[in-house]
Structure 1
Amino acid sequence: MTDPVRPTVGLLHPGDMGAAVGAQLTTRGVRTLWVSEGRGAATRSRAREAGLVEVPRPADLAECGVILSVCPPAFAAEVAGMVADTAFRGVYLDANAISPRHTQQVEERFGDRATVVDGGIVGPPPRREGVARLYLSGARAPEVAGLFEGTFLEPVVLDGPVGRASALKLAFAAYNKLTYALAAQSYALAERYGVGEQLRELAGAKLAGTPLGQPAGIVSAGQRAWRWEGEMAEIADACVDSGLPPDLLRAAEALFARWSAHRDDPRVSVEQLLASLSDG
């Protein structure tokens, strides 16, 4: 049996996650383009290591069969609009952590000019097997799934329209990322009253497999909080749309906002992050 024809893919934009996803395509021989306009040296380095092909402008992606958007949630609509304003007529995969309603608005933005597939990436950047999944929904989701078959990013097609994959992604993220916010709040409270070490011992004995039992994981959360802040806002919006209370998510959004100065900081410590939560 011969391999299916693989279209040229456009990738917007190769951050840590996007570059890792793009590398999964290039290792399969899929020609994958990225747009260098307005991007810095770090992005260029990631794109080069992932085997991506540089093009200067978004309009240069118009002939791609698939365009994949992987960006912070706050920029998802802007990126989609930029592509919708080109001559692109293929499949637009929005793999950002945005609410089902916002994903549907992306679909409306393209109208009948291109087909939108909804994607939700769950897990860390796919650099080894079994750690990351790509949930997909929408009419042409199976075609997109075929691009990632056999890669470290496991594709899972959900029955139903655009918005369903985003809903699953956000529902999982609500629990997963709130646990880090709760752990940080708990440790900050304990430190304030001089019982931080005792909380570490207690959590290690009773909740060893959780962020409370493994406080070193708070560092990773702090480094990524600049993305998580926007994700909490999207989950809160999805809750409002569903008639659910958004208060927990709004509180987590505010907590993660306090860590914005530590974006991708390899030297930040748990102690610094906990101190950032204190109004004092």
Structure 2
Amino acid sequence: MGRRDVGILHPGSMGAQVAAQAVAAGATLRWLPQGRSAATRERAGDIGLRPAADLRELAGACEILLSVCPAAAALDVAAQVADAGFRGVYVDADADAVGPERMAEITDVFEGGAVTVVDGGIAGPPPREPARTRCYLSGDDTAVARVRDLFEGTARTPFVLPGPVGRASALKPAFAAYNKISYALAARACALADGHGVLDDLVDLAGHLLPDTPLGTPEHLATAGARAWRREPEMREIAGACRAAGVSAAFAEAAAATFGRWEAHKDDQAVTAGELIAELGRGTPSGTSPGRKGLPSR
């Protein structure tokens, strides 16, 4: 192909660590600084990413493009890449759940072009430590092998799911349905307890019997508030995947509604679990409740 570089769209907290793993493994990574924040630019510089002037330059310089973006933007990003004339392996490797139907739409964007789509799904935290973050890959065997080799031996452990595009994007929503909906369910349970003045007691009970769950560690709910703007559309993706499988989408839709209540807290690192819980309940005339003051804050 004559091109050896890898491009990444767009290196947020997850994408930056994904890029760092590829750089550590010897790849040359390019990215688009245009329109990105100062913090993102600094992060990219620390990793050693090389800037491209625009998407067309990035598309022309790279043989592999990794898309690590919110679920709601996945299709638009793919369309932009197609318009830029990319010819190579396009990897939708979102940290958020993108369902099989959405992956089919992404594949259709490149239909008739010289692009091979690899279906990817990241499970786990941003890859910093070995064996904690997995990336599942499915699709064309040759293209999947190239992406697998890019991350072989890194903290972003590749797992190949033999079969067509759609298998990896089926596994990720199934996992996220449990992992992320559990945060919405815990928040609702806390709001219920808060409304009856027994939130402290619920936190104590869950901490004793369910210590490794969002209900047992409600301080972790604060992170859900800052990420709710991503979680709401992700829950919609999960709901679609449920319907396609003939499974009720009610839990996913309810979780989407819960995260939707917190969208104003986008990237708000100061919001507390108590504040998020209060927003789900009716509260009290005084604006405080016996349980809310006992919740840990960030």
TM-score scaled to structure 2, two decimals? 0.89
Structure 2 counterparts to residues 14-93 of structure 1, below 5 A? 14-61=11-58, 62-93=60-91
- 1:205-224 matched pairs, under 5 angstroms: 205-224=208-227
C-alpha deviation, 1:120, in angstroms: 0.1
Q: Share of identical aligned residues, percent? A: 51
Contact 1:14 1:70 in 2 (8 A): yes
Rounded Cα–Cα distance in structure 1 between residues aligned with 2:259 and 2:69:
18
Which residue, 234, 245, 248 being the options, matches 1:245?
A: 248
Partner-residue secondary structure (3-state), 1:261: helix
Equivalent residue for 1:126?
Answer: 127
Question: 8 Å contact 2:3–2:61 — kept in the other structure?
Answer: no
8 Å Cα contact 2:207-2:216 kept in structure 1: yes
**Is the CA contact 2:139–2:165 (under 8 Å) kept in the aligned structure 1?**
yes
2:4 corresponds to 1:7: yes
Contact 1:6 1:30 in 2 (8 A): no
Q: Please say if 1:262 is aligned against 2:269.
A: no
Runs of 4+ in 1 over 3 A off after TM superposition: none
Aligned match of 2:106? 106
Alignment of 1:197-236 (within 5 A): 197-236=200-239
C-alpha distance in 2, partners of 1:22/1:154? Answer: 13
Residues 58, 196 of structure 1: CA spacing in aligned structure 2 closer, same or farther, 3 A cutoff?
same
Separation (CA, whole Å) in 1 of partners of 2:230 and 2:282: 22
Gaps of 5+ in 1: none
Give the Cα–Cα distance (whole angstroms) in 1 for the partners of residues 247 and 219 of structure 2.
32
| RMSD of aligned alpha carbons | 1.5
Cα distance between partner residues in 1 of 2:282 and 2:235: 21
- Deviation of 1:276 after TM superposition, in Å, equals 1.8
Q: Partner of 2:181 in structure 1?
A: 178
Look up the match of 2:296. none
Q: Distance in 1 between matches of 2:203 and 2:282?
A: 23
Displacement of 1:279: 5.2
Per the alignment, residue 276 of structure 1 pairs with 279
Could you tell me which residue of structure 2 aligns to residue 187 of structure 1?
190
Whether contact under 8 Å (1:232, 1:253) holds in the other structure is yes
**Runs of 5+ unmatched residues, structure 2:** 284-298
In 1: Cα distance, 2:65 partner to 2:175 partner: 25
Q: How many residues of Structure 1 are paired with residues of Structure 2 in the alignment? A: 276
**Cα distance per residue 1:136-162 (max 9 Å; x no partner):** 000121210100011110000001100
14-23 vs 207-216, which moves further:
207-216
Q: What is the rounded CA distance, in whole Å, between the counterparts of 1:146 and 1:39 in structure 2?
A: 29
